[in-house]
Amino acid sequence: MTNAWHLAIDFGTSNTAAAHQSPMGKEISALALTHRSNILPSAVFLDSSHGAHAAADEEPTLLNGDSALARGRRDPSRLLLSPKRYIDHDEVKLAAKDLPLTKVVGSVLATVLRVKSGVVV
């Protein structure tokens, strides 16, 4: 028996879900991605401190899930509801800033990994 754990992520257009398998057993269970659900909105929000006036080499701060939706109500120009719709693009524009799609999608996947590590968002 190995100590490896297995994680499956369903990166969806509207929501992201995940399931994991215990290293000690064969049981597969859904991963709670928020305090109230097994799904996480796939939405991404560009933090306001990183708009069009941010330094070119500054790493963007991206919020995901319910936090992104809440902040996006106040500033929709920084919100991307369905990043999967842009999967065939190299970049997306949020708040007049071009962001690599790999960073945008990666932020959603990183949120799932943080949850798997015990940090529920």
Does 1 have pLDDT greater than 50? no
18-27 per-position pLDDT tens digit = 998 877 777 8
| CA distances in angstroms from 53 to 10, 49, 95, 109, listed in the order given | 34, 9, 10, 27
pTM of the model: 0.83
Q: Domain residue spans in the chain?
A: 6-116
> Do residues 83 and 91 make contact, with C-beta atoms less than 8 angstroms apart?
no
102-120 per-position pLDDT tens digit = 999 999 999 999 987 775 5
pLDDT at 115: 85
**Which CATH number does 6-116 carry?**
3.30.420.40
Q: Within a 10 A sphere around the Cβ of 49, how many other Cβ atoms?
A: 10
